[in-house]
Amino acid sequence: MNGAGNAFAIFDAREKPFEPTKEQVVSVAEMMQADQVIAVERDAEKDAFMRIWNADGGEVPACGNASRCVAWLLLREGRGQGVSLQTRADRLKAWAAPGGEVSVDMGSPLLGWADIPLSEKMDVRGVDVKIGPMDAPYLSRPAVVSMGNPHAVFFVEDVHAYDIPAIGPLVEGHPIFPEGVNVGFAQIIDREAIRLRVWERGAGLTKACGTGACAALVCAARAGHTARRATLILDGGELEIHWRESDDHVLMTGPVELEATFDV
């Protein structure tokens, strides 16, 4: 499946356990050209537990677009208009949206430096990360936030003006991010639109990143660049992100696509 181009290999592990080695995850991701590998498992209290591995084989706690894809699969089983998912990061609620799209409540963004986490205390609205010459960096001071996984967001004038495959690994592995970081390049179109490209830790440059879109909107709204609701335009499609003021939760809505199914 894919969510706005964000590609997943999803295994139904509710009857047949799926417990891959790191090498097997890498092999599956390469064979299926997937950004993440997902296992849908039974959960005693929720509709399902969702386990997530990045393409490099590392297990991660959250993936927004995968949550929407798994929710779509569960909704097709006749579970009404809404489902609940448990991940390592949080409990998520998802529901059918108009036009065949799916919405998911990603919960509240984490804005404390230790929540990201950072290796030392600093202002999360602009951390001390620089790319380029020390006296004249061409990228610096990204805003950071956690959406169940860490994100650093650079605000740029043109997302296509940067060599993201070269820059992404430098920021992902920066010492200030002890658990690595997803790296967003956000171009503000207007108060209600952001053009976004994302380098995902353990996956590389992706066509879309759901948590990255949420992170970009939160950082943009905090900086006064946009309203709390905007369209995020990614390489693979568009996501509607709403950082709700009433309860601080971030809602994400967008398309899903079932590309193929296999019996394994």
Catalytic residue numbers read: 63, 209
Closest to 14 (Cα-Cα) out of 56, 57, 43, 46: 43
Q: Which among 150, 139, 124, 153 is positioned nearest to 225, based on CA atoms?
A: 153
Exposed/middle/buried for 245, CB within 10 Å: 0-12, 13-18, 19+? exposed
Q: Tokens for 39?
A: 């296992």
> Distance from CA of residue 48 to its chain's centroid?
19
Pairing of strands 82-86, 48-54: parallel
- 3-class DSSP assignment, residue 179: coil
Q: Are 102 and 96 in contact (CB under 8 A)?
A: yes
Concatenated DSSP letters of 162-184:
S-HHHHHHHHHT-TT-TT--EEE
Strand partners, 184: 153, 198
Which DSSP symbol is given to 109? P
Q: Name the E strands within 113-165.
A: 130-131, 139-140, 143-146, 150-155
Which of 50, 99, 43, 55 shows the shortest CA–CA distance to 71? 50
Distance CA 255, CA 122 (A): 37
